[in-house]
Structure 1
Amino acid sequence: MKLFRSQRNLYISGFSLFLWLVLRRVVSLIIQLAVEMEGHDAWKTQVENSNEAAKKYMEDNEKLKKILNRGRGNVGEKEISAENEKLKCEIEKAKTELTKVTEELTKSQAEVGALKKQSEGLSREYDRLSRQHDQLQNATDSSQNKKDE
């Protein structure tokens, strides 16, 4: 009987350690997912700000084109063309920045999706192992009851 109790205690402590490791991993994955979701929100606001800046630059460019088309004269034409070139460069920079940010956003969304899938897989595996442990525990309990009788 003493051997049975010590063996039972050994199995319980082993399962407790395993359960602790699984729970620790699940908690770390949840924390990592929360951090990624915060980053996702930050990227989203940055993309929105970039879109607003690009729209502003486009409006400024349109205003300058209208002023140029009105024909203010040949005196400031070089300055206007230089300003137009400068604005075009800024627009191109804004567009490239916007594409970079959108690519990073899609990448972070893919990472979040992968983490969710991994978390779901771990949950399913944990549930399966828990059911298996319960079945084995019931089987050992029933075999011990038969031996005791």
Structure 2
Amino acid sequence: MSFQWTFLATFLYCEIFVVIILLLPFISPITWRKIFKSRLAQAFSAGGRYYFNFIICIFGLLFLDSIRELRKYSAVELKDLATPHGEAHAHMKQFRSQRNFYIAGFALFLWFVIKRLISLLSHVAREMADSAAARKQAEGAHRHIEELMSTDKSKVDTQEIPVSSDEGLRFINPKEHDAEIEKYKKELMKAHEDIESLREQYDSSIKNYDDLAEEHKKIQNKLAVLTDNESAKDK
């Protein structure tokens, strides 16, 4: 095996090992995110895109070369089968071309798989962190409401709805809330009625314009006929 195929086979074994490590169930995505956020990983990821594209180019060239060799040695010539040694040599070349083809193909495929796995692990870890933060925030708000209700029940109406906002915790009366909703519904219905009225006026204006244009055309035709008659009489 030549140097480039030995290197590619070694890289393929390393890729298989990395994929197995990434798929281990007892290593959580949060742990992987911490590893990806480490200084060493950050230093490597600074030019990660260039490394990734460079390795893809190398693997692509080797894959194309393996296809060329596969097509070259796929058909065994009759002169190679004349002697047992020649036949064995021809089959050996055919086997090597097929082996190199599979090595290059799997190495290129696993390189994309590793990149996708790293991306998915980072995304899952980020979603888990956001979910944990939202859960802590909800628990804190719940504890805050319980403290308010337990310390000063006389000032808190149990029929009021707690609403969190940027300004802090406030309460809305359901009756006032329903009244505001009804008010907005009426305003919306009125706006729809105004739009329909304007649309009817627009359609009526278009119709009147068409009628006036038709009358104008008829008058022009009559005027043209009268002008022609006057010209004929003068002659």
TM-score (structure 1 length as normaliser):
0.46
Choose between structure 1 and 2 for higher RCO, CA contacts under 8 A separated by at least 6 residues. 1
Q: Is the strand fraction higher in 1 or 2?
A: 2
Q: Which has the higher helix share?
A: 1
- Flag the structure with larger Rg: 2
Q: TM-score, normalised to structure 2's length?
A: 0.31
